Amino acid sequence: MAQLVTQPLILAGEGWADYGLVDSGHGRKLERYGDYRFVRPEPQAMWTPRSEHWDAHGEFVPGSDEDGGGRWQFDKAVPRDGWPLAWNEVSFTAQCTPFRHLGFFPDMAPVWDWMREMLAGRTDASTMNLFGYTGVGTLALSAHGPVTHVDASKKSVAQARENAALAGLQDRPVRWMIDDAAKFAAREVRRGKRYDGIILDPPKFGRGPTGETWRLEEHLPGLLADCRKLLDADSRFLFLTVYAVRMSSLALAGLMEELFAGLPGKIEHGDLSVREDEEGRLLPTAIFARWSNPE
C-alpha cells in the first residue's frame, strides 16, 4: 500500500544558463530568459525586492480581473516570433505569449530532473504527459523511451513538434495527440494500456478541442482515478502539479492516497519553488503531489 508522507516538501528549482529568477517582491518577479529580462506578476512575492530598479526588456501588465487578461509592454526590442533557449539537451523556443507565460514553465525543471532519476537506466519506459503544452517535459522524458504527449491546443502541440525539431529530437518516439486529456485517459483505460510514468499539469479551467469544459475541483478526481488504472506495481511515478488555486497540496495527496491504495511506493506533496540567482530566496509557484515507486 502506498504510504502517505504527511510532512510537506519544498522542491526548489535552480537557475541555469538560459533561465534564472533575478529578483522578486511587491507582487512581481524579474526573470532572465537567455539574453532577455522580463517582469511578470507574482502575487506570492509579498516581500521587498532586493533592488529598487529593475532593468527589463518588457513587463506583463495584468488585467483588472483575477482570472487573467493583460498585455505586454516593451521597453526594448524583443523578437516577437521567439528566440531559442535550452535545458540540458532539450532546445525550445521562448516567446512572450498573451497568457503572461513565455512558452514553458521553468519551475518544472526539478520535476524533469526527478522523473529522469526515476527512470535512470531505462530506454524502454512508456510515459505520458497530459496537458503537455509545448513539450519540454515530453522531450526530457523521451530519452528514456516512448512518450504520449496530450494537449487540447493545436497551437501548443504544433509548437511542441517545432521544439522537437529545434532540439534535433524529432526522431524520438513521441506520439503527439491533440485531444481532451480526461477523455484520452479514459480511452486508454478502456484499451487496457499501461504506463511506467505519468505527468499531468491540469489548469484551473479549460476547454477541450471540441468545446469540452474542464474545472479542476470537479474533474480532477475522475482523471486521477483513470491515471491510477494506467499504472501498476511495476510503474515508477505519477507527478501532479496545480497552479493558481486555493487548495492545499495535502488535499491532492489525500486524494492520491485513496486512489493509489493498491500500489506500493510512497506519496509526497508540497510546494514547487524557484530560487533567486544571488540571494537564494525561494519563490513558491505551485503545489504538487507525487507517487513514486523506486526500483
User: What are 145-189's pLDDT values in tens digits?
Assistant: 999 999 999 999 999 999 999 999 999 999 999 999 999 999 999
Distance (Å, rounded) from C-alpha 253 to C-alpha 98? 32
User: What does the DSSP assignment read for 43-108?
Assistant: TT--S--S-S----SEEEEE-SSTT--EEEEESS---TT-EEEEETTEEEEE---TTS--SS-GGG
177 in a domain, yes or no? yes
CB 167 within 8 A of CB 139: yes
Question: Would you give the distance in Å from CA 74 to the centre of its chain?
Answer: 26
**Across 20-34, average pLDDT:** 98
CB 214 within 8 A of CB 202: yes
Q: Where are the beta strands (DSSP E) in 179-262?
A: 197-200, 205-207, 213-215, 237-242
CB 87 within 8 A of CB 109: yes
178 in a domain, yes or no? yes
Distance (Å, rounded) from C-alpha 45 to C-alpha 49? 9
Residue 96, classed as helix, strand or coil, is coil
**pLDDT over 90 at 213, yes or no:** no
236 in a domain, yes or no? yes
**Across 262-287, average pLDDT:** 96
Residue type, 87: W
**Across 239-245, average pLDDT:** 90
Nearest CA to 203 among 174, 230, 223, 228? 223
40 in a domain, yes or no? no
**pLDDT over 60 at 66, yes or no:** no
Nearest CA to 272 among 136, 111, 75? 111
What does pLDDT average to over the chain?
95
| C-alpha cell of residue 285 | 509557484
Domain that holds residue 185: 3-14+80-292
130 in a domain, yes or no? yes
**Across 195-212, average pLDDT:** 87
Mention every residue, 6+ apart, whose C-beta is less than 8 A from residue 77: 57
43 in a domain, yes or no? no
**pLDDT over 70 at 68, yes or no:** no
H-assigned helices in 180-240? 181-190, 216-229
As beta bridge partners, residue 213 has 207
- Domains in the chain, number: 1
**pLDDT over 80 at 245, yes or no:** no
**pLDDT over 90 at 207, yes or no:** no
CATH code, 188: 3.40.50.150
21 in a domain, yes or no? no
24 in a domain, yes or no? no
> Is the pLDDT higher at 174 or at 205?
174
- Going by pLDDT thresholds of 50, 70 and 90, the confidence category of residue 244 is confident
pLDDT at 211: 77
Side-chain-side CA neighbours of residue 56 (13 Å): 24
Candidate from 49-58, 107-116, 239-248, 282-291 with smallest mean pLDDT:
239-248
